[in-house]
Structure 1
């Protein structure tokens, strides 16, 4: 009798092995207390945006469809439905990013938490993992995602979402599944090969497929770990091929043997419901508004000087409310006209108002190479407003609110969570949820917390 066939094997790259070894080295008990505390703030913020995003019609419709795509025990946020973990990861990941209020990390040039946590939350539910195991996997995945993001220079046409954060998703899932270093390295190469064609124009044109980029990062990253477990192997050095030559033009990783720096404490939390690339222009415009209160009708031109890649948001064609979240012209105009960039400003009615259209047409976005040179530590912008009289006002923002260098306090972060979670669950349930997340590492089953959320609907 002939021997049973064996799975096809390839040898992961040195980079994949190094990332896997680094991910495997992390133990929650060795992580500094301040890092653990900050990770829980990120978890709470991400739960809030997933709950709020679950109320959007397309996410509700997808959630209703989800059980038919794969039955399972993972919760679909904002509903009493459950589905297979990878399907729930898709739905909750898409919902979490849809309002553009999810946290991000400028060193990753991405939004690690919402690309990773929905998948790990769903898988932890399915596997009956404790809160501590979930949190450990989340921190490991987040830190790996930042390191891969730092190493990648994406092509101009590529949107960061749906790209390199998938490596953190796969690593976190591998930790929850108990994979060894060799299988985790395979999961990393598989995940790189399962990235999607992520177009910047999807966001700029107001196409909600852009939110599915995040959903599929969660979906595909989770499956990458399970595919490695099943015996599949990835392209050797898929990391270099995909992020250095296909989606990116350069991939230059630096990987330490043990975690000494934790980038998750250098993240940012959003209070403006739009791309972070808009935030410095918003605050520079707000400074001019506060000091000079220019009459909008008297404005002849507005010039926004910013860094590359924020210049990708420089168009003045704003198709709908979602495209407005990815338009510097709209966001500066919204600040000058409405004095706000809260989620209530992003409506089709406001986008199409004649006064808004007229002001948007006056905004021009240009790269200032001196500002580009400050990346990644500083993401600055300068706004100049020229009146019809010829008078000019100017202001610059180097550290918009919410970042590690200009942080939101706990009162503001908790208020944001209450507001967003309260769109889906009762206020008293939101308060209890915040308390439970604060002690998540003590919970014997993450699924109990998920059950409490569903019971509060």
Structure 2
């Protein structure tokens, strides 16, 4: 076979062992799982996610894999679909700026679902998670999907399928086949749908995770792939260039999982540096929203092009709107999930500030992307003052990491808000126990265990 890079990736997926992982990689994988679980638990309360789960149950889904909506256990592909859809519902899922996508969302729901189906140990789950993340991140770094496409449900499915094939006991040559089967099954996604608030956006991740589970199953059923459809799809179809060297560069030596970012603001990552900037201005200058005449947001090209709509169609579209997210932050003093409600988005003061916000591309700031995603915010006050703040990266970036306490606070807010304080602590402990090779069932069962009422 000519495409040696796929052989290298398949061997990595098959041969990686828990004892090969540096301590800091195990710790980061645990943190990834904590964060992914928290956003999944919170997002599983959304009506659209619950309705998707109910539909799959009605169709007769059966298996060992947990639906985070209600604790039902069904088929692994169905559970991956439900849980990945939930994990991105609040736009709080982690990501990787060099891959330009939410790698954990593409990998973790599929890996957890198959790990439950196969009843593997906690350490094997962590190892497969890391293997899938490393491969998926490099797939994203090796290509750039077309500007009209959303990355969810595309290249991440390749890394997730390799990790699922590993859990299913595939040898390297079969893992390679699974990746080549997964590649042409990836989605043709719409960036427009995401910016317009179409909730099909959430299904990009859900269906992508289900495809990752199904690809090795199709191989087991006798289906084959081409010699290298990974490079064909992501070099000629979904994207115009695929760097095979980048796809396998320093596997097992440079850990991409250590370069991820975590989110605290429930909106598009492209403009979160601007959210940080206005929060600082608000605190340092005791800014009141009523005293702001206009807002100027200077940033790099992508948010100026894709995130400048001041009148979004709905709450999900508001999360993709730089003007509305800034306005919500200035009015409420925060930009977490609690401010993204129909009532708050429709607040006349929020609408006034969003309409008074001008978003533009600064060529000098654009030169810093994608290493940095900068925003310069200028508030024109009614008393004549101009208040300006520049943030080059958002809080949670690898160069500006969230502290353990900040990440724990996010976990507590999301999980306790749905399950209660005691189940929240139980879920945290069950995840921590996985590195000691605990079984998976206490972890996944705790995802839907609610506080007992007196």
What band does the TM-score fall into relative to the shorter chain?
Answer: over 0.9
What's the CA shift string for 1:124-169, capped at 9, x where partnerless?
1111111111111000000111111111122211112122111121
Tell me which of 351, 357, 378 is aligned to 2:351.
357
CA–CA distance in structure 2, aligned partners of residues 95 and 131 of structure 1: 23
CA–CA distance in structure 1, aligned partners of residues 264 and 348 of structure 2: 26
Which sits farther off after the overlay, 94-103 or 257-266?
Answer: 257-266
Question: 1:170·1:222 contact (CA, 8 Å) conserved in 2?
Answer: yes
CA–CA distance in structure 2, aligned partners of residues 444 and 331 of structure 1: 41
CA–CA distance in structure 2, aligned partners of residues 131 and 295 of structure 1: 49
Question: 2:297·2:376 contact (CA, 8 Å) conserved in 1?
Answer: yes
Question: 1:244·1:251 contact (CA, 8 Å) conserved in 2?
Answer: yes
CA–CA distance in structure 2, aligned partners of residues 456 and 132 of structure 1: 26
Question: 1:189·1:237 contact (CA, 8 Å) conserved in 2?
Answer: yes
State the partner residue of 1:44.
34
State the partner residue of 1:7.
none
Alignment of 1:290-305 (within 5 A): 290-294=283-287, 296-297=289-290, 299-305=292-298
Q: CA deviation at 1:85?
A: 0.4
State the partner residue of 1:143.
134
Tell me which of 290, 301, 306 is aligned to 1:308.
301
Which sits farther off after the overlay, 415-424 or 345-354?
Answer: 415-424
Alpha-carbon RMSD across the aligned residues, in angstroms, is 2.1
CA–CA distance in structure 2, aligned partners of residues 263 and 200 of structure 1: 25
- Quick one: structure 1 residues 446 and 276, their matched pair in 2 at CA, closer, same or farther if it must change by over 3 Å? same
CA–CA distance in structure 2, aligned partners of residues 310 and 190 of structure 1: 34
State the partner residue of 2:437.
443
Question: 2:271·2:373 contact (CA, 8 Å) conserved in 1?
Answer: no
- Quick one: structure 1 residues 385 and 235, their matched pair in 2 at CA, closer, same or farther if it must change by over 3 Å? farther
Q: CA deviation at 1:73?
A: 1.6
Residues 1:34 and 2:27 are matched in the alignment: no
State the partner residue of 2:145.
154
- Quick one: structure 1 residues 48 and 142, their matched pair in 2 at CA, closer, same or farther if it must change by over 3 Å? same
Q: How many residues of Structure 1 are paired with residues of Structure 2 in the alignment? A: 447
State the partner residue of 2:116.
125
Residues 1:61 and 2:51 are matched in the alignment: yes
State the partner residue of 2:237.
246
**5+ residue gaps in structure 2?**
none
Question: 1:25·1:258 contact (CA, 8 Å) conserved in 2?
Answer: no
Tell me which of 422, 428, 449 is aligned to 1:434.
428
Question: 1:242·1:248 contact (CA, 8 Å) conserved in 2?
Answer: yes
State the partner residue of 2:265.
272
**5+ residue gaps in structure 1?**
1-10
Q: CA deviation at 1:444?
A: 4.4
Q: TM-score, length-normalised on structure 1?
A: 0.92
Tell me which of 72, 75, 98 is aligned to 1:84.
75
Q: CA deviation at 1:456?
A: 4.4
Tell me which of 362, 374, 380 is aligned to 1:380.
374
State the partner residue of 1:173.
164
- Quick one: structure 1 residues 182 and 310, their matched pair in 2 at CA, closer, same or farther if it must change by over 3 Å? farther
State the partner residue of 1:284.
277
